[in-house]
Amino acid sequence: MMTTRTPAGASSPRFDRFKTMLRGLRVSGMCVFYQDRDLAVLMLENAPDFWPPRHEVMQHGDRAIFDGPVLERIEATKRSVLAGGQTARLEVPVLNGATPRWFEMTVEPDADHEGFINGLFVTAVEITDMIHREQVLKTLLREVSHRSKNLLAIIQSIAMQTARFSGSLEDFLLKFRGRIQSLSESQDLVTNSNWRGALFSELVDKQLSRYALGADERIHRHGDDCYLGPNAALHVGLAIHELAVNSAVYGALASHSGDISITVSKRAENGAGEMITVVWDERLSRRIKPDAAASRFGSAVLEKVVPVAVGGAARYRIEADTVHYELDIPDAQFEH
């Protein structure tokens, strides 16, 4: 003989609606309590573990959980709901030891068919993780704003110096576009490092990639690699770009007869930590007249913009068959 089971439902004697709702509250993490018009707690279910014991909350009400301005704000909100009948929501902290944990509280009036408010339904859901994410996001947005302003200031400085030493609009646009592209490439390295900065070797690779492919025999590197902070990375990348452009037009990168030596060295400064010195030594592919070359090889970016931006000093020398550039970068501009 075939038998059937009665589906669990409202008619089933085993179905406990109240128990099911309590289980749902525990899973959702929602705390529910009921308060009368005097704000006495008549019911409390699913309170967080770190809250005071149930009997303390039932005896002392909100004062068992909150204190100070937070308690005043909560009581004022609840009395407002009792008076006006409008649901209210507020975010409040509850101390877990010395650490605040945040809850979103919803306060709803319990009104009868005549509109008389008998008490309050109150729910509390923890939102500590959400508050933390919002704080992190705000911090990141402030940092992005700060760095964006710095980058705009750099671009403005480059634009002014480029305009000052350009003979025509076409000349200005050519130089300015190249320098902005240089900044963009260095900025990519900084962004990929989560704003820590960039290795000097990475900056050199980026800035020379358009003029020297792979292991170019004309380029020799010596000394220590170093990790430059964001500000130094952008400006040192700009200096390498400027030197590379000059070399590609007039110097070693314009032919196969010249060469470039790039050296990085560190030295201790008395009471001021370490100093990094970057040296670019270039043997030109053909002899030039230094005085005539100064207008072509000379650059306000190399001599003024970059050293001022990193708080260091630069030395730039052009001779008949060589170009020599030194840039000192103080300890504060690089990562250890």
Distance separating alpha carbons of residues 240 and 200, to the nearest angstrom: 10
Helix (H), strand (E), coil (C) string for the chain:
CCCCCCCCCCCCCCCCHHHHHHHHHHHHCEEEEEEECCCCEEEEECCCCCCCCHHHHHHHHHHHCCCHHHHHHHHHHHHHHHHHCCCEEEEEEEEECCEEEEEEEEEEEEECCCCCEEEEEEEEEECHHHHHHHHHHHHHHHHHHHHHHHHHHHHHHHHHHHHHCCCCHHHHHHHHHHHHHHHHHHHHHHHHCCCCCEEHHHHHHHHHCCCCCCCCCCEEEEECCCEECHHHHHHHHHHHHHHHHHHHHHCHHHCCCCEEEEEEEEEEECCCEEEEEEEEEEECCCCCCHHHHHHHHCCHHHHHHHHHHHCCEEEEEECCCEEEEEEEEEHHHEEC
What value does the CA radius of gyration of the chain take, rounded to a whole number of Å?
35
Residues 88 and 186 in one domain: no
Q: Are residues 159 and 303 in the same domain?
A: yes
**Confidence label for 100 from pLDDT (cuts 50, 70 and 90):** very high
| Domain boundary residue, one of 81, 109, 126 | 126
Stretch 15-30: mean pLDDT, rounded?
Answer: 70
Q: What is the domain-level CATH number for residue 175?
A: 3.30.565.10
Question: Residue range 217-238: average pLDDT?
Answer: 90
Both 281 and 225 in one domain: the answer is yes
Distance from C-alpha of 322 to C-alpha of 4, rounded to nearest angstrom: 99
Average pLDDT over all residues of the chain: 86
Q: Is the pLDDT of residue 212 over 80?
A: no
Do residues 243 and 300 share a domain? yes
Same domain, 201 and 93: no
Residue 9 lies in a domain: no
Q: Which of 6-15, 39-48, 60-69, 135-144 is predicted with the least confidence, judged by mean pLDDT?
A: 6-15
The number of distinct structural domains making up the chain is 2
**Long-range Cβ pairs for the range 105-112 (8 Å, 24+):** 105/74, 107/77, 107/78, 107/81, 108/81, 109/81, 109/82, 109/85, 110/34, 111/85
Is the same domain home to 86 and 190? no
Residue 106 belongs to domain with CATH number? 3.30.450.20
- Residue 1 is assigned to a structural domain of this protein: no
| Residues 171 and 317 occupy one common structural domain | yes
What value does the mean pLDDT take over residues 153-180? 87
- Choosing from 98, 126, 154, the residue where a domain stops is 126
Is residue 25 domain-shared with residue 65, that is, in the same domain? yes
Residues 122 and 184 in one domain: no
The pTM of the full predicted model, rounded to 2 decimals, is 0.66
Residues 214 and 250 in one domain: yes
Poorest-confidence range of 3-7, 160-164, 302-306, 330-334? 3-7
Q: Is the pLDDT of residue 71 over 80?
A: yes
Q: Of 69, 96, 126, which closes a domain?
A: 126
Q: Are residues 181 and 38 in the same domain?
A: no
Residue 94 clears pLDDT 90, i.e. is over it = yes
Same domain, 224 and 119: no
**Parent domain of 233:** 132-335
